A = this chain, B = another copy of it.
Amino acid sequence: MSARIQDVAREAGVSTATVSRALRGLPNVSDQTRTTVSRVADQLGYVISRSASRLATGRTLAIAVIAPFIERWFFAQAVAAIEGELRQSGFDALLVGLAQPDGSAREPFQADALKGRVDGIVVLTVPLTGRELDDLRGLHLPTIFVGAAVPGAMSVRIDDVAASRVATRHLLELGHRRIAYVGGDPRQPINFTAPADRRAGWMASLREAGIEPDPRWDVPGHFTAAAGARAARELLALPEPPTAIFCASDEMAFGVLAAARERGIRVPEQLSVIGIDGHEFAELVGLTTVVQPVAGQGALAARMVLEALRDERERGQEHVVLPTHLALRDTTSSAIT
């Protein structure tokens, strides 16, 4: 149905080889010829067949973007940025989620299903098992991780420990002593270091301030607002409830704020709340938070895989750490002593 390279060649009075060269901007084609070919090509509405091209070159011009939950804020932001960057460079973004149809657990990640389908891979803070990780490496494709540093591959992330310390210290400086942490799932899968690192930063900061964190101050929030709210209810029901809650994500912080409101606890007068992310709504509701560049990490990661594709030699294992900053707003204030 569609025009093929043959048709263009015939119509332009040249060989298919010349058409190929002309259209791809390769050298050794006279301007004359190139012009003619281009004209004929779009006269015929000719578009290179990606399939044929892929088969002939072995390059797919596609990058896989792997995310556990596409619908969540962090991932949606990152995916959008990655897609934009890829598109701009003429690459296809092959989106691969890991959610089960029923939404329950996550699906095992089949690395070699990607074999031959993409030229590179961007992995967004996915908790991968050692086996999955090995298979991924077995692909021998430029791979970059966003949100966690994985040995043997490139990565873009923030310093989660540091970000967490900034948040915790901010609360300490305000005079808080009973500072709770609402984080991810307690069972920490390999390669999903953010929650663990953030918890570590919280703990370390407290200890440095001479405070031994009460185990009851450490509650899982599963990185969702609903679970954050549950966590807060639990915390606020303690005999001696915390005066400040540090959440490992803004979404959980929103949940905490809702739970506080529901109990009639005023923020920040009676309870300080701080998050991590820089979610659009954080500004809206005045949530104090440690802002991380989410789109920035995604865009950079995309550029880095593309770069690695270019410099085959330098298939580096670069690890980039992007800065974060504290956005002071209205949900934190001095502790009432």
Contacts and interface: CB of A to CB of B under 8 A. Distances in A.
A258 interface: yes
Interface stretch (A13-21, A63-71, A201-209, A213-221): A63-71
A280 B76 contact: no
Interface in A82-103: 83-85, 87-88, 92-97, 99, 101
A141 to B, nearest CB: 12
Number of copies of chain A assembled together: 2
Main secondary structure of the interface of A (DSSP, over half): helix
A51 interface: yes
Interface residues of A, number: 57
Given A70-B83, A88-B101, A99-B80, A116 B254 contact: no
B84 A79 contact: no
A225 interface: yes
Q: When A and B form their complex, which 9 residue pairs have the shortest distance between CB atoms, in order from nearest?
A: A76-B76, A71-B80, A70-B80, A51-B54, A51-B55, A258-B284, A93-B95, A95-B95, A47-B115
Given A47-B113, A258-B284, 17 more contacts: A2-B115, A47-B112, A47-B115, A51-B51, A51-B60, A52-B55, A71-B79, A73-B76, A75-B76, A76-B76, A80-B99, A85-B101, A87-B97, A88-B101, A225-B280, A226-B283, A226-B284
